[in-house]
């Protein structure tokens, strides 16, 4: 039985609830049990900017709560994934672990290093597997050309991800897209960062990076970009609209979260189960190309 503590993070349940909705539905369909945890808080990634050990401490508290329940963690956000997994690495250092545990002790907690951190796509890839996913497909999306976007923290820092994939030439999300019947598009800016982490500090960097990605997608025949992180989603989707408005551009590239794409192939209800009506860029062309007779 695949059973995980669900780590929602801050942004998904507040701003991209279609990611949460579709992830929960896909997991249920494929027999992955998700346990909601009352004790989880922010993973601490941005506190690293102010004090690295404070960031690791917040991560350690979340990890300790998962450990206490005897569960591994399933994440949706790649940044949470990267920070929690990197913290697990940093907490292997005995001095760091002792300092962190001295603070956790005041809350009746101890970090022991037992809980693993796995992103939903990794769980789908490793626990279920591409072949078994493909066997479950009800609607072949073979008319769709889908560009993958991995998200920097899905595979980096490399030392924290135990050889899941090659960050320089990743393949696993390509394979997960193939599992739905869709064609995974290889493109020039595949590994380019979405700029989400610089957005609160510099919009200029973020807008430049989003446009560079969207421009290289326009040069390809692509039906949509599939992302696996709500921040990447917001940058390419909501900020695509902002760029159109502020910089007088006319980008029109649909952005899907991978569980939404998989959910479509598994026959999920586009609105009630996958939240596709909440996506910012219109999906009507995508549906027409996929041969799905529905407008939302």
Partner 1 sequence: MKQDESNRGTIQVAELDPGFKFEILKHEEAQGLNACFACGTCTAGCPVHEVFPEYSPRKLAKMVKLGMRKEVLSNPYIWYCVTCHNCEQRCPQNVKFFNILNVLKNIAAKKGYAPASWVEQTQQIMKTGTIFSKNEELDKKREALFLPAIKNDGIKAKRLIKLTGIDKIKAQIKS
Chain residues in the site for partner 1 (CB under 8 A): 10-11, 13-15, 17, 20-21, 24, 36, 38-39, 41-42, 46-54, 57-58, 61, 79, 90, 93, 103-104, 106-107, 152-153, 156-158, 167-168, 192-193, 195-198, 200-202, 204-205, 208-209, 272, 275
Q: Which is nearer to partner 1, 48 or 137 (CB)?
A: 48
Least CB distance to partner 1 at residue 7 (A) = 12
- What does the alpha-carbon distance between residue 83 and residue 71 come to, in Å, rounded to a whole number? 18
Q: Which is nearer to partner 1, 14 or 142 (CB)?
A: 14
Strand partners, 74: 6, 118
Least CB distance to partner 1 at residue 222 (A) = 21
Q: Which is nearer to partner 1, 51 or 220 (CB)?
A: 51
Least CB distance to partner 1 at residue 140 (A) = 28
Least CB distance to partner 1 at residue 183 (A) = 27
Q: Which is nearer to partner 1, 34 or 283 (CB)?
A: 34
């Amino acid at each position: 039985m695949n059973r995980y503590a669900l780590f929602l993070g801050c942004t998904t349940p507040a701003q991209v609830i279609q990611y949460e909705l579709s992830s929960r539905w896909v997991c249920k369909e494929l027999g992955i049990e998700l346990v909601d945890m009352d004790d989880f808080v922010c993973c601490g990634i941005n506190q690293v900017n102010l004090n690295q050990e404070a960031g690791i401490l917040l991560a350690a508290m979340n990890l300790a709560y998962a450990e206490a329940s005897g569960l591994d963690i399933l994440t949706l956000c790649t940044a949470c994934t990267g920070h929690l997994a990197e913290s697990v690495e940093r907490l292997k250092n005995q001095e760091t672990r002792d300092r962190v545990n001295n603070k956790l002790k005041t809350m009746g907690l101890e970090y022991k290093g037992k809980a693993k951190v796995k992103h939903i796509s990794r769980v789908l890839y490793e626990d279920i597997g591409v072949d078994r996913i493909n066997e479950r497909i009800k609607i072949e999306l073979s008319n769709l050309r889908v560009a993958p976007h991995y998200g920097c923290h899905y595979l980096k820092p490399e030392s924290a991800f135990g050889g899941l994939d090659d960050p320089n030439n990743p393949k696993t999300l390509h394979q997960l897209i193939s599992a739905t019947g869709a064609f995974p598009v290889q493109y020039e800016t595949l590994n380019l960062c979405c700029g989400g982490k610089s957005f609160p500090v510099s919009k200029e960097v973020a807008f430049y990076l989003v446009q560079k990605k969207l421009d290289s997608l326009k040069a390809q025949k692509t039906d949509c970009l599939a992302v696996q992180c709500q921040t990447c989603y917001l940058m390419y989707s909501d900020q695509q609209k902002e760029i159109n408005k502020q910089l007088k551009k006319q980008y029109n590239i649909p952005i899907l979260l991978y569980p939404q794409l998989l959910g479509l192939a598994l026959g999920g209800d586009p609105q009630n189960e996958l939240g596709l009506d909440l996506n910012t860029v219109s999906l009507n062309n995508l549906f027409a190309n996929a041969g799905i007779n529905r407008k939302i």
